[in-house]
Chains A and B, each alone.
Chain A
Amino acid sequence: MRVLVIEDDRETAAFLHKSLKESGHAPETAGDGESGLAMARDGGFDVLIVDRMLPALDGLALVKTLRAEGDRTPVLFLSALGDVDDKVKGLRAGGDDYLTKPYAYTELLARIEALARRTTPEEQATRYVVGDLVLDRLAHRVTRGGESIPLQPREYRLLEYLMRHAGQVVTRTMLLENVWDYHFDPQTNVIDVHVSRLRSKIDKAFSTPLLHTVRGAGYMIRDGNA
């Protein structure tokens, strides 16, 4: 997908450009707010990565301007400001996600891929299907190979989030933020335990595992044969 990186630190911009290219995306970079805005206006990007503090026009103002012009391209803010209210400000300005520096590239990649997916109508789907695993959002029911799998409410929401992003890496922080709505550091890897519980319910009795651990990044649900 086409990604616009608006970042004034050249090293960071170059790193993102290289990494995104390696991940199979088509990145372009802008070094300040004004040229970034001009490029974004030309359109055609699937995701914008915007640094909060930029020369010429700061990130918040840039995104506000775009939104005021009706541009709905998903935006991920990057910032060294990590306060909860900084995040809130970023999201209020029209950002869709917020990542605090320093961040892991895998985290950034997972998030922009999730953002790009968000614009597709799949989110509104009533059924998520991965292999023989089916999550029926209307009936609140999960079946695998036709067999019903009973889940706790939280496990259901965890699976729902993973399946909505089927085929994409979902990081622990993304799960914590989106399934639990926590924006703090839970110290130990509590998420891992929840995921392994879920895994034991949906994968254990079956020959093909669907819920995979992506080392150094997070988790991904996908059909093993695909």
Chain B
Amino acid sequence: MAAAAVALLVGAAVIVSLLLFRDIDAVVTREVAAALENEAASYRLLVGEKGESALAEIVERRDRAVAGGVQILTESSGRRIAGNLERIPAAFAEHPLGAAFQYRPANASATSSGEMRRALGILIRLPDGGSLVLGRDIEVQIAATTRIRMTVFLAFASLALAGLAAGYAASRRVLQRVEAVGATARSIMAGDMRRRIPLSGTGDEIDGLSIDLNRMLDRIDQLMAGLREVSDNIAHDLKTPLNRLRNRAEAALRDASGEMALRDGLQHTIEEADELIKVFNAMLLIARLEAGALQGTTEQLDVSDLARNVAELYEPVAEEAGLRLLVDIADGQTIEANRHLIGQAIANLIDNAIKYSVAHASAAKGAESRRATFIRVGVVADGRDNVAVMIADDGPGIAAADRERVLRRFVRLEQSRSLPGTGLGLSLVAAVARLHHGTVRLEDNEPGLKVTLTLPRASPP
């Protein structure tokens, strides 16, 4: 990666310098050529006035007076008449108008040595057949362009290197943090579910991503914990009734007192099996709710209507249990929800309120055991966006410390273990609420328990 970046930058530097240098060369060449053309034009005027003999003088004067001047005047035979070149440079054979050529200064003392030097020149054919070459030494210009080239190249190269270094430093920092994410992921895969991605505290995008990932890990952790809890509880809450079922069947088989006993035993076995199926269905439903989404199963649901109907369904049961079922429902509260699930949730809450209306046995330590006298089913608007369904009673209630716990799967408080039930009723309510992006809250009804199911009117996408 790094090598490729360096190669790319160097390549760019070379291309830029080449473009620049070509331009510089062109500019220099054009300028020199233009100056020489001007000079030639002025000589042409002079020759017109004084005749061609004046040319030799001019060339000689140029020899003497013009620094860097390179020139030669020849007869038609090619013999030199004047000038500091020995002969017309061969380059003009190919480029008769103007050419770059090399020459050896005739007057070695004027320059330090007899080295070849570079010049630009133009060739003028004279009317008598002779030729005139006017040229200029361009060693100085070449030296200047070379210096410019060097400067530009160095500037560009150092700029490129600095950029590369800065980029490397920045990406190294990012890479280090990506590596931190990777390290966390690896240690989680190795089994350390408690590890989280460290944050830099700068609140940048990587921190934002890390926070999201950490939240996701928390959620996974939660689900795993739930799963662990379920498998622990399955051992107890499914194996116990399974064992009971088996015992019953066995006992019925052993019972020798006749067909009636056998029938009775089988009847009970079936009842036990039905209970197990109920637990199973509830478990599956919760699992499905926790894994799934509601897509396509919701409708515009009149909760007021539904709550009133479910309350009506339970009203005789409540009455039999000696409870007044009070209905305090605001009309026309609608939400986007699954009718069956919300119905099940409300049913579970009312059912619980009836079932646990009396504190059992060892339950209330200190306080004498309370008996509920009423259950209130309420539906109200909760702000503009939510609807609250409340089921409240004045029964024994649930101790503050236990309120969170009872929402979990299979959690049954000591005092209720003896009662029929799966320990899944409230978990199902919680799962239904979560699926609808709502909440379940358990509060002290002073006295009693108040459960509030808050549901958004419009389910978020």
Contacts and interface: CB of A to CB of B under 8 A. Distances in A.
A83 B284 CA distance: 10
A190 interface: yes
Interface in A175-226: 180, 182-188, 190, 193-194, 197, 215-216
A190 B274 contact: no
Contacts, number: 58
A154 interface: yes
A185 B344 contact: yes
A84 B297 contact: yes
B351 A186 contact: yes
A84 B354 contact: no
B313 A187 contact: no
A42 interface: no
Nearest to B306: A182
Interface in A96-155: 102, 104, 154
B316 A182 contact: no
A180 B316 contact: no
Number of contact residues on A: which range applies? 20 to 34
A55 B200 CA distance: 58
B318 to A, nearest CB: 9
A188 B355 contact: yes
A154 B317 contact: no
A193 B317 contact: yes
Contacts of B343: 182, 184
Interface in B308-322: 309-310, 312-314, 316-317, 320
A7 to B, nearest CB: 19
Contacts of B277: 102
Among B274, B282, B340, residue most surrounded by chain A Cβ atoms (within 10 Å): B340
A188 B317 contact: yes
Contacts of B309: 180
B267 to A, nearest CB: 6
A82 B340 contact: no
Contacts of B421: 187
Nearest to A101: B277
B355 A185 contact: no
B270 interface: yes
Among A184, A186, A216, residue most surrounded by chain B Cβ atoms (within 10 Å): A184
A182 B348 contact: no
A22 interface: no
Contacts of A82: 281, 284
A26 B320 CA distance: 44
B437 interface: no
Contact of B316 (A187, A193, A216): A193
B117 interface: no
B155 to A, nearest CB: 71
B278 interface: yes
Interface in B277-331: 277-278, 281-282, 284, 288, 296-297, 309-310, 312-314, 316-317, 320
A182 B313 contact: yes
Contact of B297 (A85, A187, A215): A85
Among B277, B317, B341, residue most surrounded by chain A Cβ atoms (within 10 Å): B317
A73 to B, nearest CB: 28
A215 B266 CA distance: 13
Interface of A: 82-85, 102, 104, 154, 180, 182-188, 190, 193-194, 197, 215-216
10 contacts: A85-B296, A182-B313, A185-B281, A186-B314, A186-B351, A187-B347, A187-B425, A188-B351, A193-B316, A197-B316
